[in-house]
Amino acid sequence: MKLICSPISPYARKAMILARLSNIDLEEIAPTQDGANGYITGDSPLGKIPTLEWQPGQFLFDSVVICEYLDSLRDVPLLPQSGHARYIQLWQHALGDGLSDAVYNYHCETYRPVELHWDQMVRRYDQSIRNAVSKLEDISPWLGDDWTYGNLAIVCALDYAGYRANHFDWRDAAPQLAKWHGGFTRHTAWHSTYAYKTIES
């Protein structure tokens, strides 16, 4: 299967990590961009990545759907099939993706020339980032040390925040969470998909 992706995208990176953890051999393909159409590789009408060619010529999106599909190929899926535990995992995954959304929106607002910044929206997204990190700090004792369906999204979101929203030192604001996150950085699936260090240096 082909995954149209970039490790810079926290959404794409979730699928890249999950494939590695699950021994699923994906062909990872970098997308081509075409102005207002966005990313044109991978048949997303929204012009976004990731997409997954799960059947010849048929592409799945978005990342939540892709991750659920990849997870379904595992002998023991990360996402519980039903019950309370399933919704806790989906909620944690949504909190991680929500942090990525806030960072993405913050970056889009601040990437343009300063005179075009919309301060109200910059403040709105900045506050979302801070509030999401604060919630994650509160729940960090219960997140556990394994790659769960929720932790996958949270780890990718925090790495992305460190790259695209580095005006805010989330490690300083959330020391328990920083310690928890550190446990994941030892995994091959984490560092083989971590692209930000090379870009920053």
Ligand X SMILES: N[C@@H](CCC(=O)N[C@@H](CS)C(=O)NCC(=O)O)C(=O)O
Binding positions for ligand X, rule: CB under 6 A: 9, 11, 38-39, 47-50, 61-64, 104
In this complex, which beta carbon is closest to ligand X, that of residue 40 or of residue 183?
A: 40
Q: Give least dist CB 141 to ligand X, A.
A: 27
In this complex, which beta carbon is closest to ligand X, that of residue 61 or of residue 170?
A: 61
Structure tokens at 149: 């369906």
Q: Give least dist CB 187 to ligand X, A.
A: 22
Q: Give least dist CB 48 to ligand X, A.
A: 3
In this complex, which beta carbon is closest to ligand X, that of residue 64 or of residue 173?
A: 64
End-to-end CA distance of the chain: 32
Omega of the bond leading into 62 within 30 degrees of 0 (cis): yes
In this complex, which beta carbon is closest to ligand X, that of residue 54 or of residue 183?
A: 54
Q: Give least dist CB 14 to ligand X, A.
A: 8
